[in-house]
Amino acid sequence: MGKLSYGYRKLTAKDPDKPACAACDITHGGLHLDETAQWKAAKAEVVKSGAVKDVKQFHRDELDGE
């Protein structure tokens, strides 16, 4: 349901400077359901560096405001 909601918000957004979710544009290249190859490679590089064990991304509506 989150992807459908995002798709609707993206298609109906009136202000291009305030996208439905800028992170989704980076991680999924817009309205694609799968992550982009570049994002997968970036996550793998961060994990490989030892900085973190896993990279997790959240939609704005999944955050609690902190």
Position 52 pLDDT exceeds 80: yes
Distances (CA, A) of 20 to 2, 27, 29, 38, 61: 12, 13, 13, 21, 11
pLDDT confidence of 53, banded at 50, 70, 90? Answer: very high
Full-model pTM: 0.62
Per-residue pLDDT of 11-32, as tens digits, reads: 777 776 666 667 777 888 877 7
